[in-house]
């Protein structure tokens, strides 16, 4: 069992066969961030959308939790299905967990598709969320979910519905877990950490994402990586423009012989 996580993670599987394809969400979302992709990619892959510890239906985290703990808990799910290769999609915090999964078992990952992420040493944003959640409580979660979308998308009834749907799964441990994971997110890897990633990687970014500029720095550090931009969207391109996100992901996978 992974440290600081008192029980197995919740996940949903669509697709009974094919290469396992993991989907790891941002904070404060849950596995439903990937609802369009799990439905689409299940035509070819065994899609596994995970609630990271402290989110959705997964157990709350314990004090001292790290990204490495979350990664180990994700590998526990993978091990139920295969001891072979997998493909991982990660968004924001999910991208951080994804890259820790690489450090733990690099030989078992065929490709990475990252979004909502970059390489920066500035951890101010994580400390600010810790302060705000501590003062404002779990009600802030709804605000932060919406903060991931471009201003024009906020008028979309689907986006508003999605945010309400996420917070409907708040539970007793949600607030403490979100605070703990923001603290964990403030522990940023070194440049050598990123340089050690040799797996084919695609970074898909919304042009209006606050991490957009730093995503180019990340792409330069990961040797076997490429960068793709989706205009008009922000931190959640898979939700704001799933048609573009999926197309870019498929083109990348096909390029590397991983799309059936």
What 3 state SS string does 113-169 have? EEECCCCCCCCHHHHHHHHHHHHHCCCHHHHHHHHCCCHHHHHCHHHHHHHHHHHCC
Domain tally, the chain = 1
Percent of the chain's residues with pLDDT above 90? 98
Q: Is residue 4 part of a domain?
A: no
CA distance 127 to 125: 6
Q: Could you tell me the pLDDT band of residue 121, with boundaries at 50, 70 and 90?
A: confident
Instruction: Assign residue 50 the CATH number of its domain.
Output: 3.40.50.1820
pLDDT, tens digit, 9 for 90 and up, residues 87-118: 999 999 999 999 999 999 999 999 999 999 99
* Residue 164, domain extent: 10-255
pLDDT, tens digit, 9 for 90 and up, residues 48-57: 999 999 999 9
């Amino acid at each position: 069992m992974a440290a600081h996580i008192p029980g197995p993670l919740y996940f949903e599987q669509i697709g009974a066969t094919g290469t396992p394809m993991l989907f790891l969400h941002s904070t404060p979302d849950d596995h439903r961030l990937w609802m369009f992709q799990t439905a689409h990619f299940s035509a070819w892959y065994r899609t596994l959308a995970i609630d990271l510890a402290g989110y959705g239906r997964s157990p709350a985290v314990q004090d001292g939790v790290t990204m490495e703990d979350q990664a180990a808990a994700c590998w526990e799910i993978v091990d139920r299905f295969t001891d072979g290769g997998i493909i991982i999609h990660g968004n924001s915090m999910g991208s951080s967990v994804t890259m820790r999964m690489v450090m733990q078992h690099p030989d078992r990952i065929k490709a990475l598709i990252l979004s909502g992420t970059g390489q920066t040493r500035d951890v101010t944003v994580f400390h600010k969320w810790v302060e705000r959640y501590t003062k404002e409580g779990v009600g802030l979660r709804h605000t932060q979910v919406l903060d991931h979308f471009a201003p024009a998308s906020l008028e979309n009834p689907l986006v508003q519905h999605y945010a309400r749907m996420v917070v409907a799964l708040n539970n007793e441990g949600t607030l403490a877990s979100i605070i703990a994971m923001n603290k964990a997110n403030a522990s940023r890897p070194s440049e050598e950490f990123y340089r050690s990633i040799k797996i084919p990687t695609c970074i898909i970014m919304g042009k209006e994402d606050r991490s957009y500029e730093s995503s180019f720095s990340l792409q330069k550090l990961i040797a076997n990586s490429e960068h793709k931009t989706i205009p008009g969207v922000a931190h959640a391109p898979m939700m704001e423009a799933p048609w573009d996100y999926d197309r870019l992901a498929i083109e990348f996978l096909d390029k590397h012989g991983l799309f059936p």
